[in-house]
Amino acid sequence: MIVNRRRIYIIPTRFGIALALLLVAMLIAGLNYNSNLGLAFGFLMVSLALVAMHHCHRNLLNLSVDAIVEVDAFAGDYANFEILLRNEAGIDRCDLEIRMDAAAGHAASGVSTALVSVAARGYQHGAVSVPVARRGVTRLERFELRTRYPFGWFRAWTYVHSPLTAFVAPRPGGERALPSASAAVGTAAQSEVRGDEDFAGLRAYEAGVPLKHMAWKVLARGGEPAVRSYTGLAAEPEWLDWAALHSLGAEARLSQLCRWVLSSEAAQRAYGLRIPGTEITPSRGPAHRSACLRALARYPSEPGHMSVEPAA
Amino acid sequence: MSGGPATGALTAAAERVSFESLLWISACLALTLLVGIATLPVWVTLTVAAAAGIRLVQAARGQDAPPRGIRFLIGALAIGLLFLQFRTFNGLSAGSALLSLIAGLKLLETRTRRDIYVITMIIYFLSLAALLEGESFWLLSYLIGVCWLTTSTLLRLTSSARNSDWSGSVRHAGRILAQALPLAVAFWLFFPRFGGPLWQMPDSGSNATSGLSDSMSPGDINNLAMSDEVAFRVRFKAGSGTPPPQERYWRGPVLHDFDGHAWRRTESAPVVAPGLRFQGPAYRYTVSLEPSQHNWIFVLDWPSRWDAERAYLTSDYMLMEPNPLSQPLDVAATSYSHVQAAQPLGPGMRRRDTHVHAGRNPRSLRLAQELRSAHPDDPGYIDAVLEMFHSEPFFYTLTPPRLAADPVDGFLFDTKRGFCGHYASAFATLMRAAGIPARVVTGYQGGTYNRFADYWILRQSDAHAWDEVWIEGSGWVRVDPTAAIAPERVEHGLNDMVTAGAAQFSRWQQRTPWFADLRLRLDALRLLWRERILRFDQSSQERLLELLHIPEPDGQKLALVLAACLSLGMTWLTWQVRRELKIRPRDPLQRAYERLCRRLGSVGCERKPAEGPEAYAARVSRLRPDLAEPVMALCREYSALRYGAGAGAAAGTGATAADTNRFSSAVRRFRPRGSRGSS
């Protein structure tokens, strides 16, 4: 999105208002003493303030703002939104403050900000960490871009209407071991996991395979893209099942499932997720992990447990 | 996915003031206080300096501001002391002292940006306060410079500037200040002025005393003559003539009381009507007086009208201000060189102006009696005395011998050397001894004409003393006994009454005329500054509007012109500020191609974002077969120039400047008409 002239608002800051009062006093003094030099100085200051206002407004004008619109987070932690500011003009953009209100219900407290400056014909990332207290899907319909540059007398701001979604997974918790660990014989399971590293052969490339599993040498020799496969991939998939945790409450179950997802991913083995209304077939990798965590985030919360679910 | 609670700490750190900023704001405050250091109580200056010093040392060590209790105590103490000294916080000097003190104390507790903002505002206001009483161009420039630095300090408070260098910030602040200048000029020119003050402020605590030169013993005039500095400037109004040299006497204090050694001025009552019948040509002029310790206004003999509001005329025709001229003053006046007294001399004045101290200067009194018996008529007696000065060996000198207890005797009979003061004093004594009312008038005579700007400069070295005698039937008549000395006995030129060093200087000037010219030109600029800038007022604004061909100028029209100028200025500013935002390709070839695309776009054939020139031309040809030929040619030429491998250009050569120019002028000539549907 490009910041439009009509969408920039500007008001004087507290210091700006104080300065305005001061300028009025200066002009009255100049008139009262009939001092042309005093008036000249006073008017110079007035003009300086007016020019500063233009510069403040300009600091946001025609700035291009792009945000990563979907972000994953854990409850009680921070959702890190990354915002890309691009400046195609020949002037530096200084002291841009990106502000996000923590969404209602999920807010730990107040506003999160990040301060960024973008050089002429350059770009800059700004990362805003919004605290998220509770599990659920948090939507921010807009965020604010503001600046007090150059002298802090004025504050210009604009709202960037770009819906940002944070999938807040439950805080990983629970003490229970993975289902496979309780079912399988300890040593067999151990060796199977270690066998994950063993090279088993090549198979055809398919989208979504981790880059580190690509057989680059084959590609370099001019062959078709291929993927190295490992014995571990062939191992028995783990089912992380809501039903297996029947003794716990809903949120506790979700926390436990979340921990299982993370530990299965860390162990580099395939896992599937089964919660009421959703079943994710076994796989592994960042995309799969994210899909599982988002499913956990999306799980409707019990009445009384505050969560904001978007209308869609 | 793990975030950091960095944001809160980040803002707190941003609010914190760096040592560098503290140093700069201290420097700016010091530069501001420097202007008023003469009027500021010494302990205030010291307190501010100490506060800045303590805070800077602390900041350098990484310590925080002193505890709140101590700061409060110091503040209360200092402000209490200030009140005890001034008894008021109203008025310019007390207010400035209070603000300076507050700024210093604020510096002591500066921790965050907020504190710096407060100090900058105090600096701005102190600068203004200094300008309210100052009038020099250099002061204005200096204070604008300080304001520039202060504003740069504000710019430094933004976090992005913290990483860059100071000179960059100063340059950037300078650019913003330069953009503010045209707007400020418009404001200044057209903002309506209200002739007088909105309300009366208490007089500033200027405790300069008058009376230093209320007396004349010849040594005093000698001191005055030492100096080459400007006393006042005079510009004769258009249509008014310039008086001949023998009438260019600028009247100052009139001295009556003579104790045999020194002449003193007695307070003369103010009069409403001059009591004169004016004759002859009227001279209309403006006297621009420099500030002085005295309260008299120098006018040409004899003043009939003046426009200084508070000035009044005394019974001995001195124009006086109620207060010493602590600031430059301009007075427009009218004078006549020939006058006739309307009333006879009152008995009180006659007694005062014929009084001689009986015990002093006995030889002179005897001489007067002898001369008087030979010349019983007043004009005859006056001529006889003047003839004595002319024929006897009287010398004019700037370095006369010291005179003993009876200076008139010593001068007339022993040394016969002196300057204007000696002659005026001796002449008046001789007149009074013969019963003719006489008084000594001090002032200035002559002056230097500045041909570059058509005005006269009267320097301290033009100071002079002459006499006035009462002639029955005509009134007070000016007699200048110094002028009666035989020219061959003048040791220095009358207009050359300067000390040895300055005399050398002026001889040097005479040898290098361009230097004297330069000096006159500079002086002309000074007068211009004063007339055009400092005295800019309602009537100047009226003339300005007349210059803009606005009939019958009044306040409302002025306000309209101001509004027009401001909206023009703001538009200019908007344009100026956004101009830098425009993304203009540097490459002329690229610019020309973009122009082509724009023109085609306006007839409905926009280029798609990723469309190459050849594909674009092909599509345009399909859409508008009538444009096919020129567009194809232009696009082919563009890709040939751009990529160097097209059909028309030799491979590998790339675009030369001439080719590019040819291409862009071809694009400029290409004006597609009509929309898609027309063909």
Query: Which of B5, B188, B535 lies nearest to residue A43, judging by beta carbons?
Result: B188
Test A95 with B159 for CB contact under 8 angstroms: yes
Give the distance from residue A169's alpha carbon to the nearest chain B alpha carbon, in angstroms: 11
- Count the residues in chain B: 679
The pLDDT > 70 percentage for chain A reads: 83
Q: pLDDT of B348-407, one tens digit each?
A: 888 888 888 888 888 888 899 888 898 888 889 999 999 998 888 888 877 777 777 788
A188 with A164, same domain: the answer is no
- pLDDT at res. B506: 57
Q: Is residue A152 part of a domain?
A: yes
Q: What is the CA radius of gyration of chain A?
A: 28
Q: Which of A169, A188, A214 is the last residue of a domain?
A: A169
Q: Which of A121, A143, A169 is the last residue of a domain?
A: A169
Nearest alpha carbon to residue B325 among B290, B274, B276 = B290
A17 with A134, same domain: the answer is yes
User: What is the rounded CA–CA span in Å between residue B310 and residue B529?
Assistant: 24
8 A C-beta contact, residue B572 and residue B182: yes
Q: pLDDT of B295-313, one tens digit each?
A: 889 999 888 888 887 888 8
Test A32 with B201 for CB contact under 8 angstroms: yes
Nearest alpha carbon to residue B346 among B275, B279, B277, B278 = B275
Give the distance from residue A231's alpha carbon to the nearest chain B alpha carbon, in angstroms: 30
What single letter denotes the amino acid at residue B374? A
**SS3 assignment for chain A:** CECCHHHCEEEECHHHHHHHHHHHHHHHHHHHCCCHHHHHHHHHHHHHHHHHHHHHHHCCCCCEEEECCEEEEECCEEEEEEEEEEECCCCCEEEEEEEEECCCCCECCCEEEEEEEECCCEEEEEEEEEEECCCEEEEECCEEEEECCCCCCEEEEEEECCCEEEEEECCCCCCCCCHHHHHCCHHHHHHHHHHHHCEEEEEECCCCCCHHHECHHHHHCCCCCEEEEEHHHHCCCEEEEHHHHCCCCHHHHHHHHHHHHHHHHHCCCCEEEEECCEEEEEECCHHHHHHHHHHHHHCCCCCCCCCCCCCC
Test A51 with B176 for CB contact under 8 angstroms: yes
A9 with A137, same domain: the answer is yes
Q: Which residues contact B96 (CB under 8 A, 6 or more apart)?
A: B36, B39, B40, B126, B129, B130
Q: Is residue A261 part of a domain?
A: yes
β-pair partners for A241: A274
Query: Which of A18, A43, A150 lies nearest to residue B158, judging by beta carbons?
Result: A150
3 state SS of B482? helix
8 A C-beta contact, residue A101 and residue A83: no
Query: Which of A38, A72, A150 lies nearest to residue B132, judging by beta carbons?
Result: A38
Give the distance from residue B11's alpha carbon to the nearest chain A alpha carbon, in angstroms: 8
A159 with A199, same domain: the answer is no
Helix B628-643 crosses helix B657-669 at what angle (to 10 degrees)? 160
- pLDDT at res. B199: 63
A163 with A183, same domain: the answer is no
Q: pLDDT of A43-88, one tens digit each?
A: 999 999 999 999 999 999 989 998 888 888 888 888 888 999 998 8
8 A C-beta contact, residue B407 and residue B425: yes
What single letter denotes the amino acid at residue B115? D
Report residue B431 as tokens: 């007149």
User: What is the rounded CA–CA span in Å between residue B361 and residue B369?
Assistant: 13
**Which segment, A17-26, A228-237, B552-561, B638-647, is predicted with the most confidence on average?**
A17-26
Test B176 with A22 for CB contact under 8 angstroms: no
Report residue A49 as tokens: 């303030």
Query: Which of A39, A113, A152 lies nearest to residue B154, judging by beta carbons?
Result: A152
Count other C-beta atoms under 10 Å from residue B506's C-beta. Answer: 17
Catalytic residue IDs of B: 420, 464, 480
Q: Is residue A242 part of a domain?
A: yes
- pLDDT at res. B226: 52
Q: What is the edge-to-edge ordering of all strands in the sheet holding B475-479?
A: B299-300, B249-255, B438-445, B463-471, B475-479
Q: Quick one: closest CA in A to B202, which residue? A: A33
Is A156's pLDDT higher than 90?
A: yes
A213 with A273, same domain: the answer is yes
8 A C-beta contact, residue B271 and residue B314: yes
HSE-up of residue B60 (Cα within 13 Å, Cβ side): 7
Nearest alpha carbon to residue B232 among B532, B460, B519, B454 = B460
Q: Between B630 and B201, whose confidence is greater?
A: B630
Cα four-point dihedral sign B132, B135, B139, B143: positive
Q: pLDDT of A105-151, one tens digit each?
A: 444 556 788 888 888 888 899 888 888 888 888 888 888 999 998 89
The pLDDT > 90 percentage for chain B reads: 17
8 A C-beta contact, residue B139 and residue B168: no
Q: Which of A150, A169, A188 is the last residue of a domain?
A: A169
- pLDDT at res. A17: 96
Give the CATH number, domain containing residue A138.
Answer: 2.60.40.10
* Chain A (39-98) residues lying within 8 Å, Cβ to Cβ, of chain B: 39-48, 50-52, 54-55, 57-58, 61-62, 72-74, 77-80, 88-92, 94-95
A38 with A142, same domain: the answer is yes
Q: Is residue A174 part of a domain?
A: no
Count other C-beta atoms under 10 Å from residue B414's C-beta. Answer: 12
**Cα B635 to chain centroid, rounded:** 64
3 state SS of B242? coil
A161 with A191, same domain: the answer is no
Mean pLDDT of chain B: 81
Count other C-beta atoms under 10 Å from residue B564's C-beta. Answer: 12
- Report the residue of B96, B120, B128 to disrupt the A interface, i.e. the one with the largest count of A CBs within 10 Å: B128
Report residue B647 as tokens: 């059909």
* Chain A (140-159) residues lying within 8 Å, Cβ to Cβ, of chain B: 148-152
Q: What's the rounded mean pLDDT across residues A195-208?
A: 64
Q: pLDDT of B555-601, one tens digit each?
A: 888 889 999 999 999 999 888 877 877 766 567 788 888 888 888 88
* Chain A (262-291) residues lying within 8 Å, Cβ to Cβ, of chain B: none
Test A50 with B195 for CB contact under 8 angstroms: no
Test B144 with A41 for CB contact under 8 angstroms: yes
Q: What's the rounded mean pLDDT across residues B8-28?
A: 74
User: What is the rounded CA–CA span in Å between residue B83 and residue B41?
Assistant: 12
User: What is the rounded CA–CA span in Å between residue B436 and residue B470?
Assistant: 7
Q: Is residue A303 part of a domain?
A: no
A163 with A190, same domain: the answer is no
- pLDDT at res. B414: 85
Is B663's pLDDT higher than 90?
A: no
- pLDDT at res. B225: 47
Q: What's the rounded mean pLDDT across residues B423-441?
A: 90
Query: Chain A residues with CB inside 8 Å of B96's CB?
Result: none
Q: pLDDT of B333-358, one tens digit each?
A: 999 888 888 888 888 888 888 888 88
A131 interface with B at CB cutoff 8 Å:
yes
A2 with A146, same domain: the answer is yes
A267 with A141, same domain: the answer is no
Query: Chain A residues with CB inside 8 Å of B4's CB?
Result: 78, 129
pLDDT grade for A40, boundaries at 50, 70 and 90: very high
ipTM greater than cut 0.85: no
Is B60's pLDDT higher than 70?
A: yes
Q: Is residue A311 part of a domain?
A: no
B574 interface with A at CB cutoff 8 Å:
yes
The Cα-based distances of A207 to A70, A226, B246, B413 in angstroms read 21, 11, 110, 127
Q: Is residue A206 part of a domain?
A: yes
User: What is the rounded CA–CA span in Å between residue A202 and residue B529?
Assistant: 91
* Class of residue B604 by CB neighbours under 10 A (exposed 0-12, middle 13-18, buried 19+): middle
A159 with A185, same domain: the answer is no
pLDDT grade for B653, boundaries at 50, 70 and 90: very low
Q: Is residue A312 part of a domain?
A: no
Residue-range definition of the domain harbouring residue A27? 1-169
Least-confidence region, from A57-71, B14-28, B652-666: B652-666
Is B633's pLDDT higher than 50?
A: yes
Which helix or strand (DSSP H or E) is residue B319 part of? Answer: strand B319-320
Q: What's the rounded mean pLDDT across residues B238-264?
A: 85
Q: pLDDT of B491-502, one tens digit each?
A: 544 444 434 344
Q: Respond yes or no on whether the N-terminal peptide bond of residue A237 is cis (omega within 30° of 0).
A: no
Is B677's pLDDT higher than 50?
A: no
Total number of domains in chain A: 2
Nearest alpha carbon to residue A158 among A68, A16, A58, A13 = A58
